[in-house]
Structure 1
């Protein structure tokens, strides 16, 4: 029986989507979106500040197309000097990038807590809560989600599209957890489905046509939906409902940049 690490590896996905220059990065004159400044710091600095204190000894990996471009970010430099931060060259897709980190870590990357380089509102408390939930539930994979009313309570434009289940409308919080190598098959949904599952065809490819039809007809609660996904993927998938809907706000475009900037400013008060 394989003994799990008591703390997860933290992986920050900071590559270019489809290898293209992000419009926010272009406007800011930087090559990668994670270097776009917000509230006086690069996006990636905020993410690192949010996760580094979750555990004092958890290894941190950043997957990015050109690791050299972030070497001047203060916390990147400090964590590299401490031997805690490792770089991995981003691959063609999300799953391939995760696979690269698993390979480069010598298979020691699990459990794995995954977030993104634009998830500037992530915190150590949230990171610990998702890991603890996954371990307690015996889950193979955990998705961080927030309910519509809690998201819009932070700003009426914080999110425009929601997944409508029979019991609630939700959005993802760009924070995921994978238990072990056997559960890594859950990531196949992203290989087939693409980032954030914005296409119905891709959702069907990833989770099955019947599941998609039931979802569209309001046949799933969040719990029954994750149970159906678990059967499809062959691993126990659970959704972790986050009370503060601010965590559903990442820096995806000009609109969400302004909202995230406002929410970060509130934290300083």
Structure 2
């Protein structure tokens, strides 16, 4: 069994959908939200620094549209880790599939607006997959998220045991786990493709989930059986990990939390 620091590839999803206009990017006058500055650095720089500070990083893959790649490369070239750029697909699942190509070991996947990411959180999801899980999903409880910032997150998933928010941080044990993304490919985001969700999870599992009959672990156990992979939740104590930069409101929340971290570290 490999150690959490034995070596991993990090994938940052930074693509912007063709034709989509991001409010924050438009206000900042940049072509991609990843380039929007917060606390003195572009969003993607904060994410990349957290990954680079995690022991064992062997490669950083950036999924982004080709026209923005040179600007991002210029921002990250000094991080002293191998960089690779992958052209973004028109949905997240296809983008992950493309970035996972050729990777043989563990992978950590996050988004370029996940500016409150920490090396500790990265280590936690890596520990789950190096400890036997095929995939790990980082979550935070509603209480922890609201304690971090009362306005930071408004979307929570209700389970029988608690309410959780997704932290946009995942880990895959290797190629076999990455291949499971085939089950989600070409479907776009579940929130916009209900039929795809039914097909992927199965109607009974979906009904139980919507009825609040499943705990988080129980739900992921059913998903594990369906895809023949062991999927483990990783509950992060710091609810700030569930606050990413989606809009002006969450930008302000993340900015305040980043500033507070810097003050505490000084």
CA RMSD of aligned residues (A): 2.2
CA contact (8 A) 1:193 1:206 kept: no
Distance 1:188 1:163 in 2: 24
Distance 2:183 2:22 in 1: 24
* Aligned match of 1:97: 95
CA contact (8 A) 1:192 1:206 kept: no
1:146-169 Cα shifts (integer Å, max 9, x gaps) = 000000111222211211000000
* Aligned match of 2:115: 120
Please give the secondary structure, in 1, of the residue aligned with 2:58.
coil
CA contact (8 A) 1:90 1:97 kept: yes
1:200 is displaced (CA, Å) by: 4.4
CA contact (8 A) 2:160 2:212 kept: yes
1:171 corresponds, among 162, 165, 168, to 165
CA contact (8 A) 1:185 1:235 kept: no
List gaps (5 residues or longer) in structure 2.
none
Distance 1:141 1:8 in 2: 14
* Aligned match of 2:73: 71
TM-score, normalisation: structure 1: 0.89
Distance 1:69 1:200 in 2: 36
TM-score, normalisation: structure 2: 0.90
* Aligned match of 2:49: 49
Relative distance call for 1:186 and 1:245 in structure 2 (3 A) is farther
* Alignment size in residue pairs: 259
Task: Output aligned runs, 1:119-268, within 5 Å.
Answer: 119-136=114-131, 138-188=132-182, 190-191=184-185, 194-195=188-189, 197=191, 200-268=194-262
Distance 2:97 2:165 in 1: 26
